[in-house]
């Protein structure tokens, strides 16, 4: 158990620059997935607590909005340095609460820092446009101004990377941010709050409100919250999008995925298997960008791939988050484990073939963590539930097709369009695939096509609701509103007495 001021039995919110106990008398259990033990109790905020937090943020906003962007970036620079200094400690907190290995947690922090790096470029990205003499000695220019209070609702599987991606640019643009982290992993967000405080961020500009649906609904309904970012399941993502939009908020809501890996006959299968292992089973497959389905083209490709994959999968080691030899750790809860096992069992009843069974991994005799070993199911068909749904755990499937055209049609017919990748040595096939596929993030010989922090992240179809993106230049557009000014400074002798009633033009 990590010894820190945040990892106590009863946690807090972070409001107005201080840790505040919850007043609702409702709490949720926080587990260590590696042991199954309860490590803390997370307070669930009431509507009154959420609204009070919004008022604090709203009051702090005006001064932060009027702070020069250079001064805001100074705070973000210091915050970045603190993130790097505290990487070891933060990685341990991530592992303790999410079950992912320490090396995986450090990778998450590193990718999160990319979003902070992008926010440091805010002075350049916030520049407006200027045009001289667009007509009648009128100059036109634009400026980007912050929205006000914005909220982010983040998932359990990336307790640091996703909150940083959702909020760093929002802070840099001059907004006041309220983060509602997953109630399963609240400690990471509270730790980050302490770093923002040490970096010199004014009180009220960054707040943490812990809670469940009651807190989410309060954020969605309060008129002083101008924008909402969400990452989670598609069911909740769609709800947040519709409720937020109904309440006149700007919404970027990211849902689930069913990410395919197309394997062409000319691909190097040894490289493909190696790429598939990490992309499919990293973080116990609890990634929205994890490869869910291998799609080998042709029977010979499929048979060879499955044979090579089985050998390598059987070598994978599952273990505690702080086991340096573990390839991946536990899933987040016992309910998650039970859900994955149910999907496996149902797929077998529907006709899938089990090549590797991870339902009862032997970790150690006394271990009571939420462990699942890697499972491989072959001959899965598109009508099976395990193919249609996002399965958030290490049960991966093989769907066989006869051609690239069939693979493209298969993927385009799926309701999700988050990520996809193709492994091939044929540039023509890769180009055809990239142009025709209806998916937001595409990899060519890249197993997990998550773009770097200065490119936009976001899926298509039912993987994303709203027009915003989670990182990249679109975050500036999402967290600002554009004002366009037309100005003219006439000489006194130019004063005209005749009114113009025709629509203004530059003629």
Helix, strand, or coil (residue 114): helix
Residues 254 and 458: beta-carbon distance below 8 Å: yes
Closest CA to 3 of 107, 96, 85: 96
Measure the CA–CA gap between 309 and 392, rounded to whole angstroms.
20
DSSP state of 381: -
* CA–CA separation, 375 and 491 (whole Å): 79
Residue with tokens 């000319």, as numbered in its chain: 266
What is d(CA 210, CA 244) in angstroms, rounded to the nearest whole number? Answer: 19
- Cβ atoms of 178 and 219 closer than 8 Å: yes
Tokens of 449: 């096509």
Please give the structure tokens belonging to residue 328: 């991946």
Q: Give whole-number Cα distances, 124 to 150, 201, 309, 395, in Å.
A: 22, 21, 47, 44
Could you list the active site residues?
288
In the chain the first and final C-alpha atoms are separated, in Å, by 73
Q: Are 172 and 73 in contact (CB under 8 A)?
A: yes
Rounded Cα distance, 187 and 209, in Å: 12
DSSP collapsed to 3 states, 446-459 = CCCCCCCCCCCCCC
Find the length of the chain: 507
Rounded Cα–Cα distance for residues 59 and 69 (Å): 19
CA distance 372 to 316: 12
**Residue 412 near residue 442 (C-beta atoms within 8 A):** no
Q: Are 370 and 36 within 8 A, CB to CB? A: yes
- The dihedrals phi and psi of 46, each to the nearest 5 degrees, come to -85, 170
Question: How many other C-beta atoms lie within 10 A of the C-beta of residue 353?
Answer: 13
């Amino acid at each position: 158990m990590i010894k820190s001021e945040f990892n106590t039995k009863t946690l807090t919110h972070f409001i107005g620059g201080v840790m505040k106990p919850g007043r609702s008398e409702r709490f949720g259990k926080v587990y260590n997935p590696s042991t199954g033990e309860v490590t803390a109790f997370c307070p669930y905020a009431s509507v009154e607590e959420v609204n009070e937090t919004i008022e604090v943020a709203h009051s702090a906003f005006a001064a932060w909005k009027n702070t020069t962007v250079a001064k805001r970036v100074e705070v973000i620079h210091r915050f970045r340095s603190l993130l790097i200094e505290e990487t070891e400690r933060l990685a341990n907190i991530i592992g303790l609460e999410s079950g992912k290995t320490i090396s995986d947690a450090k990778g998450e922090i590193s990718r999160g820092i990319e979003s902070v790096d992008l926010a440091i470029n805010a002075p350049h990205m916030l520049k407006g446009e200027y045009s001289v003499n667009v007509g009648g000695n009128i100059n036109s220019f634009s400026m980007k101004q912050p929205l006000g209070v914005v909220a982010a609702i983040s998932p359990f599987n990336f307790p640091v990377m996703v909150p940083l991606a959702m909020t760093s640019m929002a802070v840099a643009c001059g907004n006041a941010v309220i983060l509602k982290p997953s109630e399963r992993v609240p400690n990471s967000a509270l730790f980050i709050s302490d770093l923002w405080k040490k970096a010199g961020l004014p009180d009220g500009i960054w707040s943490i409100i812990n809670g469940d649906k009651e807190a989410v609904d309060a954020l969605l309904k309060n008129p002083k919250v101008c924008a909402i970012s969400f990452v989670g399941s598609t069911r909740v993502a769609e709800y947040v999008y519709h409720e937020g939009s109904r309440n006149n908020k700007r919404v970027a809501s990211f849902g689930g995925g069913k990410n395919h890996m197309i394997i062409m006959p000319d691909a190097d299968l040894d490289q493909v298997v190696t790429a598939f292992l990490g992309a499919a089973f990293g973080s116990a497959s609890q990634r929205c960008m994890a490869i869910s389905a291998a799609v080998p083209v042709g029977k010979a490709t499929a048979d060879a791939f499955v044979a090579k994959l089985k050998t390598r999968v059987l070598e994978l080691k599952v273990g505690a988050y702080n086991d340096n030899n573990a390839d991946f750790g536990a899933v987040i809860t016992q309910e998650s484990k039970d859900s994955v096992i149910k999907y496996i069992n149902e797929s077998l009843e529907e006709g899938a073939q089990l090549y590797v069974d991870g339902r009862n991994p032997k970790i150690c005799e006394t271990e009571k963590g939420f462990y699942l070993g890697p499972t491989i199911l072959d001959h899965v068909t598109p009508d099976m539930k395990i193919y249609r749904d996002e399965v958030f755990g290490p049960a991966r499937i093989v769907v066989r097709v006869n051609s690239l055209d069939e693979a493209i049609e298969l993927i385009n017919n799926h309701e999700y369009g988050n990520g996809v990748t193709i492994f091939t040595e044929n540039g023509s096939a890769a180009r055809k695939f990239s142009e025709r596929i209806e998916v937001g993030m595409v990899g060519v010989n890249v197993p997990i096509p998550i773009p770097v922090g200065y490119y936009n992240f976001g899926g298509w179809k039912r993987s994303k609701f709203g027009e915003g993106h989670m990182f990249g230049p679109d975050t500036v557009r999402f967290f600002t509103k554009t004002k366009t000014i037309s100005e003219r400074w006439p000489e006194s002798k130019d004063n005209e007495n005749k009114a113009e009633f025709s629509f203004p033009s530059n003629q």
